[in-house]
Chain A
């Protein structure tokens, strides 16, 4: 397990990352969500040791992470690229060697991955001769090789075509299944919601909410939707409720004091017909908007 505790980083007077803590459990995908400038990239750079932390620690399997540990983390920085003029196999082997792999192992594993991404016949081509989509695939291989102990990926899905997104998602799931802790940041909330077991939401340098999808939804206020056969305007007068929206016969309310929704329902029944009354499960994007607002 990878664990981030109290990471803090300032740039001048600006606190970019403020006391950020979260776990990245083995065997699952952790999604790292937040707007531009929320501090995601800075946090990931500190996890990888590319940027020094002013406070806090990163621990790996219970001890403070070392350079040798990090050397075997797969990392995809937000600003990424490879050598444009070098053949792709050569530079992937070079990067793998920098991370402690032997040439023979690197060639074998990279060969397999290149085949998998349909680039088996292009190993000798310089990167710049490849289409942008294929360059992205090479970039992914660069982050994944050599068989990483953990994956720290900053916006790995940005710029990928739908096929590559699926291939990437499969790869991440496979690694997670093999017990590799995976954390990745993304703006694509639906994708994160679909893929991730855990979520960490950052805003203005702090973690505003984190947990599994269910935990996040459970933490969000109880919400109900009511459809009457008459005007629903009267719901505003009931105590213990926060009315999010009323339009004609429809209303969406949030429960402020427990049990208020039951009183609402009996009141509605006495007033006339109730066409619909159900619990609303907020979508991740709604929760996100609320917690980062």
Chain B
């Protein structure tokens, strides 16, 4: 018997790394991924840019009047406008009468029409008045009338309102920050949801592609399927996290240019936790997506084989949106819901420092159990190419 040609057997890279590298290389050079990323970046930059622009924009309102008394009031408002809201200025405009004022509003010659009425003053607008305009007009009118009344009573406005001021002394944060926390919390839930769906679908597709093209049997003969699964998930996660980091970086830079920049320091630790929960939750869900891919035989089957996981994601998403109070606290510990809810609670500041640690441990334990289960389903279903498999049938399959 002759000896086969001398062959070097390199120690080599672990298989999962080889698989992950291919996933990353294929995805990073895929045109639709690149276009998708560019579009997403454009959207983020666009939204933040618009916010920053509209915040910094000064608004001038043309305020129509048709009587001498209204003229005095309009001029008084114009005088005080910038003190009340620095980005608002008021331009008094004279019109002949109420009908002319109505026409001016309809033709957008004026933004509002001010006239006196039995009980005080009326501001007429075509549609809902801008909140800035309403605030400036009502505050200015109130101050002017108050000053006039005080004068008539032989005193001053300051005398009258003395001791009536309610100072807000909030123990934690301030009200504007609370609003931002709220918005950021939902934004994170939405980011998680879309990232899971988008990257999950891509992963499931790449699994079914290997099945459909029949390359999987050659791979299965060469390497353990567990390594194939691990490589695919890790490769996918690297791409996902990479893309998220780009979005977050652009988002944060953008945010720091807006008036909301003051909120960043308060949110940084919560966003750090979000990344941790995102990673674990993402990997756990990825294994399920891989199973969905393995259960299908063709891309066309994917829609139905991925239904359970899209349902799960819907539950997580709407759970995050609608749970509050005790439900939210409980949900923030229950995996995989905790992957979304705990970061949201951290962002809105209602979770103590130890709570995310417990939630992460629970999520990890759940994840490990689920990954094992998914691995079994994946490796058994992967070599079955005759049509779509049910979860039950896949579980019963022998290796």
Q: Is B219 an interface residue (CB 8 A)?
A: yes
- Given A77-B214, A81-B215, A86-B26, is A146 in contact with B222 using a C-beta cutoff of 8 Å? no
Do the beta carbons of B217 and A50 come within 8 Å of each other?
yes
Instruction: Output the residue of A50, A90, A98 with the most chain B CB within 10 A.
Output: A98
Contact check: which of B4, B13, B15, B221 meets A50 at CB < 8 Å?
B221
Instruction: Output the residue of B10, B213, B222 with the most chain A CB within 10 A.
Output: B222
Q: Is A32 an interface residue (CB 8 A)?
A: no
Kindly state the interface size class of chain B when it binds its partner: 35 or more
CA distance A203 to B390 in the complex (A): 32
Q: Is B224 an interface residue (CB 8 A)?
A: yes
| B28 → chain A closest CB, angstroms | 13
Interface code A66-80, partner B: CB below 8 Å = 1, 0 otherwise? 010011110111011
| A107 → chain B closest CB, angstroms | 14
CA distance A26 to B18 in the complex (A): 31
- A-contacting residues, B384-399, CB 8 Å: 385, 398-399
Closest to B6 in A: A147
Interface code B1-13, partner A: CB below 8 Å = 1, 0 otherwise? 1111101111011
Q: Specify which chain A residues have a CB less than 8 angstroms from the CB of B5 in the assembled complex.
A: 147, 178
Q: Is A160 an interface residue (CB 8 A)?
A: no
CA distance A71 to B14 in the complex (A): 13
Do the beta carbons of A102 and B12 come within 8 Å of each other?
yes
Q: Is B223 an interface residue (CB 8 A)?
A: yes
Q: Specify which chain B residues have a CB less than 8 angstroms from the CB of A99 in the assembled complex.
A: 222
CA distance A70 to B19 in the complex (A): 18
Q: Is B146 an interface residue (CB 8 A)?
A: no
Kindly state the interface size class of chain A when it binds its partner: 35 or more
Contact check: which of B214, B220, B383 meets A81 at CB < 8 Å?
B214
| A271 → chain B closest CB, angstroms | 55
Contact check: which of A51, A81, A149 meets B4 at CB < 8 Å?
A149
Q: Specify which chain A residues have a CB less than 8 angstroms from the CB of B215 in the assembled complex.
A: 80-83
Q: Specify which chain A residues have a CB less than 8 angstroms from the CB of B219 in the assembled complex.
A: 95, 98
Q: Is A253 an interface residue (CB 8 A)?
A: no
Q: Specify which chain A residues have a CB less than 8 angstroms from the CB of B12 in the assembled complex.
A: 97, 100, 102
Q: Specify which chain B residues have a CB less than 8 angstroms from the CB of A143 in the assembled complex.
A: 218
Interface code A91-133, partner B: CB below 8 Å = 1, 0 otherwise? 0001101111110010000000000000000000000000000
Q: Is B59 an interface residue (CB 8 A)?
A: no
Determine chain A's interface SS by DSSP, over half rule.
loop
- B-contacting residues, A35-78, CB 8 Å: 45, 48-52, 67, 70-73, 75-77
Do the beta carbons of B2 and A94 come within 8 Å of each other?
no
CA distance A49 to B209 in the complex (A): 22
Q: Specify which chain A residues have a CB less than 8 angstroms from the CB of B210 in the assembled complex.
A: 83
| A141 → chain B closest CB, angstroms | 12
Do the beta carbons of B2 and A72 come within 8 Å of each other?
no
Q: Is B22 an interface residue (CB 8 A)?
A: yes
18 contacts between A and B (CB under 8 A): A27-B1, A45-B217, A51-B399, A70-B222, A77-B214, A79-B217, A80-B215, A81-B212, A82-B213, A83-B213, A95-B218, A97-B12, A98-B18, A100-B9, A100-B12, A101-B10, A102-B12, A179-B1
Interface residues of B (CB under 8 A from A): 1-5, 7-10, 12-13, 15, 18-19, 22, 25-26, 209-210, 212-215, 217-224, 383, 385, 398-399
Beyond A48-B221, A102-B8, A178-B4, 11 additional contacts (C-beta under 8 Å) are: A45-B217, A51-B383, A70-B221, A71-B222, A80-B217, A82-B215, A97-B13, A97-B18, A98-B15, A100-B10, A180-B4
Cβ-closest 9 pairs across A and B: A179-B2, A81-B214, A81-B213, A77-B217, A48-B221, A52-B399, A75-B221, A79-B214, A26-B1
